[in-house]
Amino acid sequence: MLAKDPHPFDFEPRALGAGRPGPDHAAAARRVPTCVVATAPVRELAREAHAAIGVLPLVPWPRRAARDCRCSSAELRASLMPTPPGPLPHAQLQLRRAALAERLGGAVTLDRLAGDFVLFQRRRGHRHSTDDLLTAWYAVTHAPIPAPGRLLDLGSGIGSVGLAVLWRFPDATLTAIEVQPTSHCLLEANIAANGVAHRARAILGDLRDAATVADAGVSASVPAPFDLVTGSPPYFPPGTGIVSADGQRAAARFELHGDVRDYCRAARGTLADGGRFVFCFPTVQRARAEAACASAGLRVIASRDVVPRHGLPALFSLFACEAGTGRLPPPEAPLVVRAADGAHTAELAAVRRSMGLA
């Protein structure tokens, strides 16, 4: 059972936990009736969930909550106690998944991202893909040395690229910019779910907007703060296909909030000295991606085509860039995802192992 009130703690207690607006948010939060949330640990989880995703899960009884979360009462009680930094316990993740599904109006799945990192994503929305996995891996492979300390993910979506890179660099911090509200909601939830709110933050804004870039930490005093920038630009200009009625899916596929040139310009303006920008783009539009890099003052230092299955043409390409100009290097040998029989190739299996997915 969930409360959709945007200020669920802003009430005076009364019978059956119903409420009316009150002026003191903090005081009201301390007066959550026991008939709404039964135990102190559950009340604390409710506050934490509301802070993370703006929804208060009302948990009348731990046993009922455990049933809804598909875990035992003992597991639920244990998971609600204070935990060390890192991904949340299973029962807490399931509570948050249910709250997100209620807020977003559809099923939300909880999936593995990289290592012990997990990912909330809509079952019928924009979802993590091989493009994201390989972009994150290519960024890790072509990251500057020493290891980057400041990461920026442009058009972060639900965080599948930025968080995967963050997993590989446990001492780094991440700033993730996303303009689409549903994706931004999931991005914030995924940062909280993986216990990295102390070193990752999500900005709701347009990467083309100077105010958004300033919020990311780019200013006159720190003009280019990021060592590694990643991005997965949408692949298609408007008018080249059928735009989904689902706003999240449409924004992920079509250039509704910027194109590859905008991504390159934003990356160039935020790269520290020696920093790298890594992104993916359709192979059939390789020339467009290369032109976008050149116009932004970026030099492609490496690129690689990705073949979905042996015998098929390349589907998308990975690019690693740095500030400067120069001749394009020849592409690396294509990376083939699946053999002719449909099984993952040895190289793809090695990529997965390197990202903690063995």
Looking at residue 44, what is its pLDDT?
53
Q: Cα dihedral angle (160, 187, 59, 91), rounded to 10 degrees?
A: 20
Residue 223 pLDDT level (bands cut at 50, 70, 90): low
Q: Which amino acid does the sequence have at 131? A: D
pLDDT at 38 over 60: no
Q: Is the CB of residue 145 less than 8 Å from the CB of residue 173?
A: no
The residue-averaged pLDDT of 123-151 equals 95
Pair 336, 238 in one domain? yes
Pair 129, 61 in one domain? no
Q: Which of 49, 78, 105 corresponds to the end of one domain?
A: 105
Residue 59 pLDDT level (bands cut at 50, 70, 90): very low
Looking at residue 60, what is its pLDDT?
39
* Domain around 18: 2-105
Pair 142, 78 in one domain? no
The residue-averaged pLDDT of 328-353 equals 96
Residue 346 lies in a domain: yes
Residue 118 lies in a domain: no
Distance CA 222, CA 236 (A): 33
Of 9 and 175, the one with more pLDDT: 175
Of 274 and 23, the one with more pLDDT: 274
Pair 192, 99 in one domain? no
Residue 113 lies in a domain: no
Q: Which of 77, 105, 133 corresponds to the end of one domain?
A: 105
Looking at residue 252, what is its pLDDT?
86
Distance CA 13, CA 290 (A): 61
The residue-averaged pLDDT of 203-216 equals 89
The residue-averaged pLDDT of 105-120 equals 96
Q: Based on the structure, what is the number of domains in the chain?
A: 2
The CATH number of the domain where 156 resides is what? 3.40.50.150
Residue 91 lies in a domain: yes
Distance CA 33, CA 29 (A): 9
Residue 110 lies in a domain: no
Looking at residue 210, what is its pLDDT?
85
Q: Which of 73, 105, 137 corresponds to the end of one domain?
A: 105
Pair 94, 157 in one domain? no
Looking at residue 53, what is its pLDDT?
47
Residue 253 pLDDT level (bands cut at 50, 70, 90): confident
Residue 79 lies in a domain: yes
pLDDT at 26 over 50: no
What's the pLDDT tens digit per position in 84-95? 567 899 999 999
Looking at residue 72, what is its pLDDT?
56
Give one DSSP letter per residue of 214-279, joined into a string.
HHTT--SSSS--EEEEEE---SB-TTSSPPPSSHHHHHHHB-SS--HHHHHHHHHHHEEEEEEEEE
pTM, two decimals, is: 0.78
Looking at residue 214, what is its pLDDT?
83
Residue 25 lies in a domain: yes
Looking at residue 75, what is its pLDDT?
52
Task: Choose the weakest-confidence range: 198-202, 207-211, 328-332, 336-340.
Answer: 207-211
pLDDT at 17 over 80: no
The mean of the pLDDT values for the chain is 81
Distance CA 49, CA 27 (A): 18
Could you tell me which residues come within 8 angstroms of residue 189 by beta carbon, excluding any fewer than 6 positions away? 52, 53, 96, 100, 120
Looking at residue 238, what is its pLDDT?
87
Distance CA 2, CA 121 (A): 19
Tokens at 71, concatenated: 């875990």
Residue 73 pLDDT level (bands cut at 50, 70, 90): low
Task: Choose the weakest-confidence range: 112-116, 256-260, 295-299, 352-356.
Answer: 256-260
Of 22 and 172, the one with more pLDDT: 172
Looking at residue 211, what is its pLDDT?
86
Pair 100, 134 in one domain? no
Looking at residue 219, what is its pLDDT?
67
Looking at residue 42, what is its pLDDT?
46
> Residue 57 region, left (φ>0) first, then alpha (ψ -120 to 50), else beta?
beta
Pair 171, 236 in one domain? yes
pLDDT at 310 over 80: yes
What's the pLDDT tens digit per position in 259-270? 999 999 999 999
Pair 135, 272 in one domain? yes
Pair 50, 157 in one domain? no
Residue 136 pLDDT level (bands cut at 50, 70, 90): very high
Tokens at 106, concatenated: 């559809």
Pair 263, 323 in one domain? yes
